[in-house]
């Protein structure tokens, strides 16, 4: 799911790659890309606007994190905002102090309301909370049968008064029945229409008034995209919801609905439906969905690791050395060790968005190169490491290092040329300061 969105965000991050700092000019395009991505995913325009504004503010005000490039940092900010937008942590189902807890299910026809009612009943049973389901959809006789069948399947009782009774009355008696049976939670399934309908809304409002639910859950079909915003708005305004269940997330859906519901209603998505089976219900975790939307490998882990692994004092020392033109092979080794602290190159690359598509061959090549470089540096004398110019001048020294490390003289020459080039470049930039920025110095 959300593949298109993930791809577009990946484009946005690519635009920031190679830049050394987030700035007003270079962030513009990336933000534009995020905006396009969210709109393409059917996120409500208003929601998108607010989101982009927040991301921009945070990104421009963000401190530079050493060892993390602006692209990664930008993605982290987008991620944090996504999580923020969807609500920070999982919000559980309501539980009344005094049983029964009453849960009212609302939503349009076909969204998966009846299925979600049974899914919740099963979920509650697994939590050792007993349930009673109440069938108030008298307009579609098949709906009552559907709930009964599901009830049998999961061994949860269903209360109904047939299709001639008044839905408000069924709901009222349903709650009475729950008290009588001593069940923990009563789930009231209600009638839906294909579109928002004043009569349906009025009836729902009446039921709500009579049963005074602890949770009023709007069931939203994730496939409805942009419509989810209007739907949420109307239901929240007219009925007052306390949460939502997003269904059909297993399908080929866009991310729009998930992002809109919380923003429009201020209420959390509590569960997601991920299949037709009664077991296919999961608590909603905003952070998981955000990661999934971003499809960014584990860039967040990378950011966190970088923050952990860097000893700020060390980095400053390295930067001074670069400025003073005394950066040598010892410093270079330090830099490589720093990278190793952060995990293997393969692991590291996989965490970088876009890089997770690298073939294992590419990664192997990078790691091999790193090892070769290290082997060559290990064969240098202390003096040579401190003074790379010695090597540039002496073919004899280069030959010895080649033999000592099991590499060719050409390899050693290349290492020295590249190292010298890099050092000059870093001096020209004034501040090298990119620990981990130079994976291989070999061929």
Residue 134 engages ligand GDP in binding (rule: CB under 6 A): no
Minimum distance from residue 281 beta carbon to ligand GDP (Å): 8
Residue 62 engages ligand GDP in binding (rule: CB under 6 A): no
Binding mask 194-233 for ligand GDP (x = CB under 6 A): ----------------------------------------
**Contact with ligand GDP (CB under 6 A): which of 70, 100, 112, 256?**
112
Residue 173 engages ligand GDP in binding (rule: CB under 6 A): no
Report the relative pairing of strands 269-273 and 281-283 from DSSP bridges: antiparallel
User: Residue 175 or residue 220: which is nearer to ligand GDP going by CB?
Assistant: 220
Binding-site annotation, residues for GTP: 107-114, 189-193, 247-250
Phi/psi of residue 133, nearest 5 degrees: -105, 140
Q: Which of the stretches 29-37, 112-120, 254-262, 322-330 binds ligand GDP when contact is defined by CB under 6 A?
A: 112-120
63 CB neighbour count, 10 Å cutoff:
6
Minimum distance from residue 123 beta carbon to ligand GDP (Å): 13
Half-sphere exposure (CA, 13 Å, Cβ side) for 403? 5
User: Residue 187 or residue 349: which is nearer to ligand GDP going by CB?
Assistant: 187
Residue 190 engages ligand GDP in binding (rule: CB under 6 A): no
**Contact with ligand GDP (CB under 6 A): which of 11, 54, 80, 250?**
250
User: Residue 68 or residue 274: which is nearer to ligand GDP going by CB?
Assistant: 274
Residue 366 engages ligand GDP in binding (rule: CB under 6 A): no
Minimum distance from residue 147 beta carbon to ligand GDP (Å): 9
Residue 110 engages ligand GDP in binding (rule: CB under 6 A): yes
**Contact with ligand GDP (CB under 6 A): which of 18, 92, 141, 251?**
251
Residue 274 engages ligand GDP in binding (rule: CB under 6 A): yes
User: Residue 67 or residue 107: which is nearer to ligand GDP going by CB?
Assistant: 107
Closest listed residue to residue 130, CA positions, set 213, 50, 206, 186: 186
Residue 111 engages ligand GDP in binding (rule: CB under 6 A): yes
Q: Using an 8 Å Cβ cutoff, are 321 and 331 in contact?
A: yes
User: Residue 118 or residue 434: which is nearer to ligand GDP going by CB?
Assistant: 118
User: Residue 114 or residue 373: which is nearer to ligand GDP going by CB?
Assistant: 114
Q: Using an 8 Å Cβ cutoff, are 436 and 335 in contact?
A: yes
Q: How many residues bind ligand GDP (CB under 6 A)?
A: 18
Residue 291 engages ligand GDP in binding (rule: CB under 6 A): no
Q: Which of the stretches 275-283, 298-306, 309-317, 325-333 binds ligand GDP when contact is defined by CB under 6 A?
A: 275-283
Task: Tell which phi-psi region holds residue 21, choosing left (phi > 0), alpha (psi between -120 and 50) or beta.
Answer: beta
**Contact with ligand GDP (CB under 6 A): which of 8, 248, 292, 321?**
248
User: Starting from the edge strand earliest in sequence, which strands make up the sheet with 215-221, in order?
Assistant: 158-159, 131-135, 185-189, 101-106, 215-221, 243-247, 269-273, 281-283
User: Residue 113 or residue 400: which is nearer to ligand GDP going by CB?
Assistant: 113
Residue 192 engages ligand GDP in binding (rule: CB under 6 A): yes
**Contact with ligand GDP (CB under 6 A): which of 224, 247, 291, 335?**
247
Interface residues toward ligand GDP, by CB under 6 A: 107, 109-115, 192, 247-248, 250-251, 273-276, 280
């Amino acid at each position: 799911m959300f593949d298109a969105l993930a791809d577009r965000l990946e484009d946005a991050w690519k635009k920031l790659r190679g830049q050394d700092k987030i700035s007003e000019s270079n962030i513009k395009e990336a933000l534009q890309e995020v905006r396009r991505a969210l709109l393409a995913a059917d996120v409500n325009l208003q929601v998108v606007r607010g989101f982009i504004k927040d991301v921009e503010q945070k990104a421009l005000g963000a401190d530079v994190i050493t060892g993390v490039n602006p692209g990664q940092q930008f993605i982290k900010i987008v991620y944090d905002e996504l999580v923020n937008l969807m609500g920070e942590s999982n919000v559980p189902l309501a539980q009344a102090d005094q049983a029964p807890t009453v849960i009212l299910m609302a939503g349009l026809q076909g969204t998966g309301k009846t299925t979600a009612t049974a899914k919740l009943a099963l979920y509650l049973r697994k939590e050792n909370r007993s349930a009673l389901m109440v069938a108030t959809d008298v307009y579609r006789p098949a709906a009552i049968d559907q709930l009964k069948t599901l009830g049998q399947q999961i061994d949860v009782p269903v209360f109904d008064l047939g299709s001639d009774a008044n839905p408000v009355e069924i709901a009222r008696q349903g709650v009475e029945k729950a008290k009588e049976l001593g069940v923990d939670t009563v789930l009231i399934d209600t009638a839906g229409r294909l579109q928002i309908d004043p009569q349906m809304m009025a009836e729902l409002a009446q039921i709500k008034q009579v049963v005074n639910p602890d949770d009023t859950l709007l069931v939203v079909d994730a496939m409805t995209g942009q419509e989810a915003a209007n739907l949420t708005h109307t239901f929240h305004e007219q009925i007052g919801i306390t949460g939502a269940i997003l269904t059909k997330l297993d399908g080929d859906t866009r991310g729009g609905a998930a992002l809109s519901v919380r923003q429009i209603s201020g209420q959390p998505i509590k569960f997601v439906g991920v299949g037709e089976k009664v077991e296919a219900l999961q608590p909603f975790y905003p952070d998981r969905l955000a990661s999934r939307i971003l499809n960014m490998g584990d860039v967040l882990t990378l950011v966190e690791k970088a923050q952990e692994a860097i000893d700020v004092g060390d980095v400053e020392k390295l930067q001074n050395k670069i400025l003073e033109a005394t950066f040598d092979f010892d410093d270079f080794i330090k830099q490589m060790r720093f990278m190793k602290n952060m995990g293997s190159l393969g692991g590291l690359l996989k965490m970088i968005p876009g890089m997770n598509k690298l073939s294992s061959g590419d990664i192997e090549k990078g790691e091999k190169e790193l090892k070769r470089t290290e082997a060559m540096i290990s064969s240098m004398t202390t003096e040579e490491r401190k003074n790379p110019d010695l090597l540039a001048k002496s073919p004899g020294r280069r030959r010895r290092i080649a033999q000592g490390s099991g590499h060719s003289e050409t390899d050693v020459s290349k290492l020295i040329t590249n190292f010298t080039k890099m050092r000059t470049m870093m001096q020209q930039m004034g501040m090298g300061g990119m620990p981990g920025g130079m994976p291989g110095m070999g061929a």
